[in-house]
Amino acid sequence: MFDKILIANRGEIACRVIRTARRMGVATVAVYSDADAQALHVTIADEAVHIGASPVGESYLVAERIIDAAKRTGAQAIHPGYGFLSENPGFVDEVEAAGLVFIGPSARAIRAMGLKDAAKRLMEKAGVPVVPGYHGEGQEIVILATKAREIGYPVLIKARAGGGGKGMRKVDHPDDFAEALAAARREAKAAFGDDRVLVEKYVEKPRHIEVQVFGDNHGNVVHLYERDCSAQRRHQKVIEEAPAPGMTAAMREAMTEAAVKAARAIDYSGAGTIEFIVDASEGLRPDRFWFMEMNTRLQVEHPVTEMVIGVDLVEWQLRVASGERLPKSQDEISLSGHAFEARLYAEDAAKGFLPAIGTLHRLRFPDAAAGDASLRIETGVREGDAISPFYDPMIAKLVTHAPTRQAALAALSEALSHTEIAGSVVNTAFLAALATDSDFAAGNVDTGMIGRRQDALTAAEPVTAQHVAAAAVAASGLGVRLDAADPWAALAGYAHFQPLAKTVSLAHDGEEIAARLTVAANGNAQVAVDGASVAVPASGGRFATARWPGHVTVFSGAASHTFAVRDPFADAEAAAAGGDALRAPMPGLVKLARAAAGDSVVKGQPLLVLEAMKMEHTIAAPHDGVIEEIVPEGAQVTDGAVLVRFREEG
């Protein structure tokens, strides 16, 4: 076994590899760019090496710097994770030329599966079923269009290099073929530097089912059963599960046999995934699945396989790469229960899943699942970290496991409803809507389901008076949801003769909201919003909230609503500019008066110190002028009370 490995990746996969390596007693070296200098994977690794600027082309894709970092730190092997250089055969060659071990398949195996058309020709020779289509070298439009007619419309044009839905176009009619081909070629050229394509029969009700395979350097290959990854948006996976719903014994036997046959055809070693497209129009049938591609690396969704098989695939990777045999034979591998994985992204589902950035001012996950279910959180970020524009905006993966599919899905829904993220727009509500969709819950899913139901799945929960009330209470900080360890918390809502009252100014989706808040001595609050009165108990009520700079986020199950909080001091200053009175932005005690009646003051000059919300706030002159009246020190003022009156000019 290795003494030290370098992880040529970042984020949650780097953290995932580090966790297993540490358990095995293997030291780890992290690499990082400028943007990742304080990232979680950097802080938990045994060592870390800076490899360049934030763009991936200047850091994580620079093979020479990664190899140099491994040699300088004494690492014996490099784990590529997924993405970046993980399926780059040239990188494998360079790693091995440097006298290091690549924790993954051989460069030859990666090359064999790297181009979709060549891989499919290879699979045909190996006896693996392949989607009817044209995978030849001829790229003239007349050849491709002719083949499309022979295959029969609808057809799918696909880039021969790469994946992730890039360079892919569905064509329903011959008249649209030329335009779709040109668009696919442009996209493929931009994404992969290769504009060559293949043409395949479009499957009307496709399911994406893949088989996890594992080989060693002693000729052994096993499968670890299947995963269903049909829940996709823009050809990218959203929720994965294992095993596939509706899978029959005959279908599983045929599919896993084909997967092992595919891996053996290239003498595969390490973790790999054989992806199949399945025609589910008549259920799952052994004659209705076809090889799509092979991912010659660990997959993002590998945790669901680990949960139902009871193994650590990263440990298997390290053992196989160090020369050991597979830890288990095929007969020793069996399924247990059901698992789901949901990918939490910083993205705006309602705007076409537009990636987002932001600082994670609140990042809280449930500690555990209820009953027989278990919960696993895979993440590479912490509360306070920023989602960078340079990398994939994944925040975390929520993985649940239970004895049955229904229980595992219920656990996933529950976990999503107790996940709190504030500071960036996130897809939590979308994932929860998908998890509770009736067809998805029944296992009746195909790769086009999300696209067909996108409007319903991404519909925002309406903002109610209860949400506004919760936001107003959180923004005020008066006596609600305070730290129980604070000895002054019990007095936060205290007023000697009558309840404290103030107006809280909020904004949501461009709409200005004024909430009148009254807090009793016991901390209970009454909030008036648009004529409605909402009671919020001192315990905080039904909604969790998060206060962060200039904002409050209200969590309503898996949904969340973020309100901008108007700065009362800034608003008071703006409102008073040019006026004759300066009013208290909130109830408080005048701790100090720094000016007196008759004084001439200039804009910005400190006039009073107001103690409110357990903090001291300086009240400054909003404009030049002469003070006519000013409240004395020690005065208790209410929200909106006149603090300073200026002499009228002229």
Q: Which residues have a catalytic role annotated? A: 297
- Cα–Cα dist 520/531, whole Å: 20
Please name the residues in contact with 537: beta carbons below 8 A apart, sequence gap of 6 or more: 523, 524, 525
DSSP, res 102: E
| Cis peptide preceding 132, ω within 30 of 0 | no
Range 436-441, long-range pairs (CB < 8 A, 24+ positions) = 440/231, 440/239, 441/406, 441/409
DSSP, res 289: E
Q: Identify the burial level of 322 via C-beta atoms within 10 angstroms of its C-beta, where 0-12 means exposed, 13-18 middle and 19 or more buried.
A: middle
- Cα–Cα dist 482/471, whole Å: 14
- Cα–Cα dist 594/619, whole Å: 10
Our CA dihedral for 289, 290, 295, 298, rounded to 10 degrees, sits at: 10
Q: How far is CA 181 from CA 133, 201, 300, 442, in A?
A: 15, 15, 30, 37
Q: Which residue has the tokens 């990777």?
A: 317
160 membership: H or E segment, kind and range: none
- Cα–Cα dist 288/203, whole Å: 10
Strands 606-612 and 615-620, by their bridges, are: antiparallel
Length of the chain: 650
Angle between helices 107-114 and 116-126 (to 10 degrees): 100
Write out the DSSP string of 574-615.
Answer: HHHTTSSEEE-SS-EEEEEE---TT-EE-TT-EEEEEEETTE
**CA distance from start to end of the chain:** 89
**Which residues is 378 bridged to in the sheet?**
397
Q: What radius of gyration do the chain's Cα atoms show? A: 30
**Which residues is 625 bridged to in the sheet?**
601
Q: Which residue has the tokens 């929200």?
A: 639
Nearest to 590 by CA among 631, 628, 644: 631
8 Å CB contact between 223 and 330:
yes
Strands 347-348 and 354-355, by their bridges, are: antiparallel
Nearest to 380 by CA among 8, 38, 11, 7: 11
Our CA dihedral for 119, 121, 125, 129, rounded to 10 degrees, sits at: 80
Q: How far is CA 265 from CA 126, 174, 226, 262, 278, in A?
A: 6, 36, 19, 5, 22
Please name the residues in contact with 195: beta carbons below 8 A apart, sequence gap of 6 or more: 159, 167, 185, 186, 188, 189
